[in-house]
Amino acid sequence: MKKIFVLFLLSIISISSICAETVRMKVGDTKTLSPSVLPTKVLAGQPAWTSSRPNDVKIVSTTMYSCEIEAVNSFSGYATIHCKYYYRELDPTTGQYIYQRSGYVDYKVFVEETTITSIEISPANIELNNGETHKMEVIILPSNANQSVAWSSSDQSVAYVNSNNVLRANGYGTAVVTATASNGLTATCTVTVKKNGDDSGENSGNDGQDSTDYNELDYYFQIAKRRMNALRNKAIQQQNKNNE
């Protein structure tokens, strides 16, 4: 009867788990998790560690008895760090470790959001030719705060910024692009898009040239050029709408 009770008790222990522990971190922090239960077990191999939010709470390294995690991004709720392990139990009759059991330990990891104090776009004024691109640089302080931003443009037919922070010049003119941080703070940048290869200089002082014939030819050339640019801008705007 005593042996039956011991085996029943061991079976209960073998399927039990450690209640979830709570860990609080800030973005950029690292922490080593060391479940107190593991050193008391005769482990059958290295435990398996997983994160329910690997992009926000990353597993950096693991050993037989510990795991190092890093807080990458702040978020609402929590991430679960799950440790599953296999271990051997002692046979009370023979005194040998013959029973292989499994267990797990869970951690609830909360990553606190760091308050954003400032946001800036550098440079604050950009000049591009039509069709050019520019990688936008956004400076959010402190550096361990949420670095994601949402972009908007006062005139997307002139310039807009995609989700990869790449500015694209679509047409001619001026537009103001705005970066909005996760807490609502904003920064702006004025974008001027110039005509690519447009020469404003005139060879009006050349002797012996028939200026009347030249101006007439240039007049029709500029009309054709404007029509081509209009078609090109329309196609770019349509492509931007498809990509959004």
209 in a domain, yes or no?
no
Q: What is the pLDDT of residue 42?
A: 85
Both 177 and 126 in one domain: the answer is: yes
208 conformational bin, left if phi > 0, alpha if psi -120 to 50, beta if neither: left
For the beta carbon of residue 171, count every other beta carbon within 10 angstroms. 21
In this structure, what is the dihedral angle of CA atoms 44, 46, 47, 49, given to the nearest 10 degrees? -170
CA torsion through residues 92, 94, 97, 101, sign:
negative
**203 within a domain of the structure (yes/no):** no
Residue at 179 is within a domain: yes
Same domain, yes or no: 154 and 239: yes
Q: Burial code of 94-103, b = ≥16 C-beta within 10 A, e = fewer?
A: eeeeeeebeb
User: Is 83:108 a contact under the CB 8 Å cutoff?
Assistant: no
Which of residues 81, 97, 112 is at a domain's end? 112
Q: Is residue 49 part of a domain?
A: yes
Q: Is residue 204 part of a domain?
A: no
Asked whether residue 173 is domain-assigned, the answer is yes
Kindly state whether residues 102 and 169 are assigned to the same domain. no
Q: Is the same domain home to 41 and 82? A: yes
| Together in a domain, 120 and 239 | yes
Quote the number of domains for the chain. Answer: 2
What is the Cα–Cα distance from 53 to 47, expressed in whole angstroms? 19
* Predicted local confidence at residue 13, as pLDDT: 41
Spatial separation of the C-alpha atoms in residues 58 and 221, rounded to whole Å: 60
Question: What was the pLDDT predicted at 96?
Answer: 79
CA 51 to chain centre: 17
- Three-state DSSP at 168 gives strand
Same domain, 92 and 139: no
Domain limit, last residue, from 60, 83, 112: 112
The pLDDT profile of the chain, 244 residues, written as one tens digit per residue, is: 444 444 444 444 444 455 578 999 988 899 999 998 888 888 888 999 999 999 999 999 999 999 999 998 888 899 999 999 998 887 778 877 777 888 999 999 999 888 899 999 999 999 999 999 999 999 999 887 888 899 999 999 999 999 899 999 988 999 999 999 988 999 999 999 998 665 444 443 444 444 444 445 555 566 676 777 777 777 777 777 777 6
E strand or H helix at 15, and its extent?
Answer: helix 2-15
Same domain flag for 126 and 69: no
Structure tokens at 187: 């920064």
Asked whether residue 226 is domain-assigned, the answer is no
Domain of residue 152 covers 114-198+234-244
What is the structure's pLDDT at 46?
92
Query: Do 239 and 137 sit in the same domain of this protein?
Result: yes
Same domain assignment for residues 61 and 173: no
Identify whether residues 128 and 100 lie together within a single domain: no
The CATH number of the domain holding residue 93 is: 2.60.40.10
Query: Which CATH number does the domain housing residue 180 bear?
Result: 2.60.40.1080
